[in-house]
Amino acid sequence: MNQDVAYGIRMLVDIAERSLSSGPFEDPTTAVQAIDRIHDILRQIARRPLHSGQYHDAAGTLRLLAPTMQWNGFVQVAFDEIRQAGAGSPQVSRRLKAAMDDLLTVAPPERRPALEHQPALLGELASVAARSDVDREAATVPDPSGIGSAAALVTPRNTQHLRA
């Protein structure tokens, strides 16, 4: 796991999926904890150069081309299956939305396209799973805490009135 980031993400995705396997409300808190770790990993590699998989000799001749995961692959591994398994859980969909929104703020322009369509895909699945317009709207409110609070319960981010 220390040498293969994709493997670590895959393990976390498996944990999240297993926690949601018996239904959308089986264990969303465990899924959210896995999403937290995945979000941390993606945030750390969002700006880092990724290895091309090309290995050259001292003269610069390409000697080995090894398959390596690139940014789009990391995003797909991290979000696709959890999005599909967890869209029916408002807690999971809100935490996924918050992670996606945050990653869009730190990803360089060339890595944003892999992230930009993820919230729309999540919104589509969450809309199908929701039973009412109120539930549909509540399921897509970003929740960085992962507690599952509705938009009305989230503390506003306006902290201008606070002094150091």
Domain ranges of the chain: 5-49+67-148
pLDDT at 7 over 80: yes
Report the alpha-carbon distance of residue 53 to residue 95 in Å, rounded: 33
Assign 36 a pLDDT band (cuts: 50, 70, 90): very high
- Which pLDDT score is estimated for 14? 96
Assign 57 a pLDDT band (cuts: 50, 70, 90): very high
54 DSSP β-pair partners: 65
Neighbours of 63 (CB within 10 A): 10
Assign 9 a pLDDT band (cuts: 50, 70, 90): very high
Provide the mean pLDDT of the chain: 86
| Contact residues for 74 (Cβ-Cβ < 8 A; gap 6+) | 5, 6, 9, 42, 45
| Structural tokens at position 34 | 């896995």
Residues 12 and 81 sit within 8 Å (Cβ to Cβ): no
Using N-to-C axis directions, what is the helix angle for 71-86 and 118-129, rounded to 10°?
A: 10
Residues 121 and 83 sit within 8 Å (Cβ to Cβ): yes
| Structural tokens at position 126 | 């969450």
- Residue whose token pair is 């895909």: 121
pLDDT at 35 over 80: yes
The fraction of the chain above a pLDDT of 90, given in percent, is: 59
Range 110-127 average pLDDT: 91
Of the ranges 14-23, 53-62, 125-134, which one carries the lowest mean pLDDT score? Answer: 125-134
Range 63-74 average pLDDT: 92
Report the alpha-carbon distance of residue 27 to residue 40 in Å, rounded: 21
Distances (CA, A) of 113 to 71, 75, 93, 96, 100: 10, 10, 20, 17, 12
- Which pLDDT score is estimated for 22? 72
Assign 70 a pLDDT band (cuts: 50, 70, 90): very high
